[in-house]
Structure 1
Amino acid sequence: MDFKWKGDYFETDLEFGTLRISGNEEHGFRPYQLMVSSIAVCSTSVLRQILEKQRMTIEDIEAHADVTRDEEQANRISAIALHYKIKGQGLSEKKLDKAVVLAAKNCAMAQTVKGAVDLTETYEIIPE
């Protein structure tokens, strides 16, 4: 990946398109937003795949991320609390509990920040 400075932002061309990155959200995606997005989407995608392999029908799945940043340490991300909202058929809390743990172990992005960011995951089943 190559990143080019464009004055107010950096830019990179990827297979899907051009990505703008800036410390100022008026000019592009902020780096912490990209990191949190990577972790949230990776974790949710892996969770969905696990649930489908366990023969649960997923009609909808969403993730909400609450982010804690530490101003005393360069405003680094210190914690991310992911909350999944899952709607589907045949959803079992017992299986969901195990699937959430398994998803965290198999998400490359979550594993990348393991030990540096406190990642917690909760879920709720949305009734049909």
Structure 2
Amino acid sequence: MKQTLNTSWNGNMQFDALVSGHHVIMDARAEVGGQDAGPRPKELMLASLAGCTGMDVISILKKMRVEPKTFNIRIEAELTEEHPKHYSGMHLIYEFSGDGLDEEKLRKAIDLSQDRYCGVSVVYRKAMPITYEIRIMENE
């Protein structure tokens, strides 16, 4: 299945990508000629990974009849110093809260996402190591 995406230059360092009918404005910081009107493209790589695996995990947990009260994914990424600057590794921190959460079920859902379902993760793992941890937060 072929997919296409159009990205238009809006002037200066700003670009507008039309993604699934939604405009995603990307821009650079002012010190490099942008107006800071949107996220940087590399940061969107992190958002893509978090969104992809997050949707998988929630879908799998629902099938397991596990409903977290809250779910958050933080990503710590190592950026190289030399050009072209790129991520050399990513560490995902899956944070859950809720009553009676079974860590083994959470781990199974994450492993299924990482190993079988999340296409973003599969591609990124070909370029760098990706690790993760699970944190079960106390209910407030």
- TM bucket (normalised to shorter chain) is 0.7 to 0.9
Q: Which deviations, in whole Å up to 9, do the C-alpha atoms of 1:6-28 show, x marking residues without a partner? A: 22211123445322123437132
Is structure 2 residue 11 aligned with structure 1 residue 7? yes
Secondary structure in 1 matching 2:126: coil
Structure possessing the higher relative contact order (Cα contacts under 8 Å, 6 or more residues apart): 1
Provide the TM-score with structure 1 as the length reference. Answer: 0.87
Q: Using the TM superposition, name which of 103-112 and 90-99 deviates more.
A: 90-99
**Share of identical aligned residues, percent?**
26
Q: Cα RMSD (Å) of the superposition?
A: 1.8
Is structure 2 residue 65 aligned with structure 1 residue 61? no
- Structure 1 residue aligned with 2:88: 78
Q: Which deviations, in whole Å up to 9, do the C-alpha atoms of 1:46-105 show, x marking residues without a partner? A: 112212211212211001111111122511011111101111233112222222211212
Map 1:1-128 → 2, pairs under 5 A: 1-8=5-12, 9-24=14-29, 26-105=36-115, 106-128=117-139
Distance 1:14 1:72 in 2: 30
Distance 2:85 2:19 in 1: 28
Structure 1: tracts of 5 or more residues without a match: none
Secondary structure in 1 matching 2:61: helix
Provide the TM-score with structure 2 as the length reference. Answer: 0.80
Distance 1:14 1:70 in 2: 28
Distance 2:123 2:85 in 1: 19
Secondary structure in 1 matching 2:54: helix
Distance 2:86 2:9 in 1: 23
Q: Using the TM superposition, name which of 13-22 and 65-74 deviates more.
A: 13-22
Q: Structure 1 segments of 4 or more deviating over 4 A?
A: none
Structure 2: tracts of 5 or more residues without a match: none
Distance 2:19 2:53 in 1: 22
